[in-house]
Amino acid sequence: RRCLNRIKNTQHLNAYITVTEELALKQALESETRLLQGATKGPLDGIPFAVKDNFCTENIRTTCASRMLRDYTPPYNATVVQKLMDQGAVLVGKTNMDEFAMGSGSTDGAFGPVRNPWSYAAPYREQTGAEPDSDWVVTGGSSGGSAAAVASLTSYLALGSDTGGSTRNPGALCGVVALKPTYGLLSRHGLIPLVNSMDVPGIMTRSVSDAAIVLGILQGHDTRDSTTIPAPSSLTELPEDFDVKNICIGIPKEYHAPGLSEETLAQWSLVADMFDRAGARVKQVSLPHTQYSIVCYHVLCHAEVASNMARFDGLEYGHRSEVNSSTEAMYASTRHEGFNDVVRGRILSGNYFLLKQNYQHYFVKAQRVRRLIADDFKHVFSSGVDMLLTPTTLTDAARYSDFKQEDNRTRSAQEDVFTQPVNMAGLPAVSVPTALSRRGLPIGLQLVGRAAQDRKMLSVAQWIE
């Protein structure tokens, strides 16, 4: 009830697309009954959670923040949602996002932009003298609603999705812990795809130890997702006193990227020094293909978008246009009315990259570059480095008015410079809030681990925390 009341009191954040009040009260009551009977299911029993609106939820609409799916109600739960419910967790709502998870601001959905809760907190107000209604900052994206939900204490954990940074970016800008697990560790069944070979469900929590508990419960092979890898579904508690002495931390030199703010750089150096003083080995490493990552990601992403979005034809799912002069005309106007210009733009360029005469030049070449980017990480890890320490974002959160003023798509692309390469390589990464900027806004740092070493990475993240 407290979470549901808080959701009502923070409606200005626009974090939720659908609030599942009735279901939440029912699930909470069931949980309370179990508690009274001494039959709780575990640490998540009765814990309120929120889910990004691109995960299918049984009998609850799932919109992807698009007009295309405005009234779409799936008949089943995504595996990760089902697993949380099986543990007795209580669903409070579906969260706002960029349409079909394309973006880095959560400003581009059909239900309007999400506002960062830190815009209303004392540090930002005092530092900037900003007026609540005229000036606020973005959450980052595309899982901005989930990040805002955890940051504004309307849920204890939230699911996001992470294809190029969409969980870690808003996690950093909203000051919450944001975990992108190793590709294949968590099932994608029921997650509406953006880039199938990079998508992973992401976990947002208030602490690293909470993220570890949720990861332990969600991980493991799923017969409905052939890319999942076996891992025991278990209660994972992190060691209390993890010693970083034997850890080797890599600092990628290419991540001193243009646009990196002085404050974020200072945080990065500070935490690297902390590791050094604690006896860890800290060394500079090189990921030479980093500079090609954003372009490469976008060729691959748009190609997969062109293919994935083909299912939205007005016949099987969601919106159907009134225009019915011909089948072709119905398809065209359904897609014109249903998708925003970001989605339509990616479908167009994706189909261009996939044309018979362009396929080798763009798509195949981008796949090769992707392999080089992934190999960069392999080389670094095989040289004895255990994990990488990097910033999560270039700067703290941008004001909405500034974010919208610049060419949003260019900005959006640049924002993912530290997060995207990790998705290309399928590695685990976590963003941890470490400080507030001079403007009173959160700054986050990212740890990148070796494949399937999510737990070790989280132990080190907890040490930073």
Site residues (vs ligand GLN, CB under 6 A): 101-104, 142, 161-166, 194, 301, 412, 416
455 exposure class (CB count in 10 Å sphere: 0-12, 13-18, 19+): middle
Looking at the Cβ atoms of 120 and 292, the one nearer to ligand GLN is: 292
**Alpha helices for 37-108 (secondary structure H):** 79-86
CB atoms within 10 A of CB 413: 18
Among 31, 106, 142, 412, the active-site one is 142
Looking at the Cβ atoms of 27 and 395, the one nearer to ligand GLN is: 395
Q: How far is the CB of 394 from ligand GLN (least distance, A)?
A: 13
Q: How far is the CB of 101 from ligand GLN (least distance, A)?
A: 4
d(CA 293, CA 206): 30
Q: Decide if 113 contacts 95 (C-beta within 8 A).
A: no
Looking at the Cβ atoms of 169 and 334, the one nearer to ligand GLN is: 169
Q: How far is the CB of 178 from ligand GLN (least distance, A)?
A: 11
Looking at the Cβ atoms of 45 and 162, the one nearer to ligand GLN is: 162
Element (H, E) at 146: helix 144-151
Among 52, 83, 180, 456, the active-site one is 52
d(CA 242, CA 71): 48
Tokens of 51: 């889910």
Q: How far is the CB of 282 from ligand GLN (least distance, A)?
A: 29
Looking at the Cβ atoms of 165 and 220, the one nearer to ligand GLN is: 165
Looking at the Cβ atoms of 92 and 301, the one nearer to ligand GLN is: 301
Looking at the Cβ atoms of 10 and 167, the one nearer to ligand GLN is: 167
Residue-wise DSSP of 214-245: HHHHH-S-BTTBTT---------PPPTT--GG
Catalytic-residue membership of 234: no
CB atoms within 10 A of CB 414: 15
Rounded to 10 deg, the angle between the 293-308 and 408-415 helix axes is: 110
d(CA 295, CA 301): 10
Catalytic-residue membership of 142: yes
Residue reference for tokens 């998540």: 44
Looking at the Cβ atoms of 87 and 96, the one nearer to ligand GLN is: 96
Among 106, 143, 155, 166, the active-site one is 166
d(CA 304, CA 429): 23
Distances (CA, A) of 207 to 156, 177, 279, 430: 10, 6, 24, 11
The answer to whether the peptide bond before residue 104 is cis (omega within 30 degrees of 0) is: no
Q: How far is the CB of 34 from ligand GLN (least distance, A)?
A: 36
Q: How far is the CB of 194 from ligand GLN (least distance, A)?
A: 5
Residue 183, C-beta contacts closer than 8 angstroms, at least 6 positions apart: 197, 198, 200, 227, 423, 426, 427
Q: How far is the CB of 54 from ligand GLN (least distance, A)?
A: 9
Angle among Cα 157, 392, 377 to the nearest 5 degrees reads 110
Catalytic-residue membership of 286: no
Residues assigned a catalytic role: 52, 142, 166
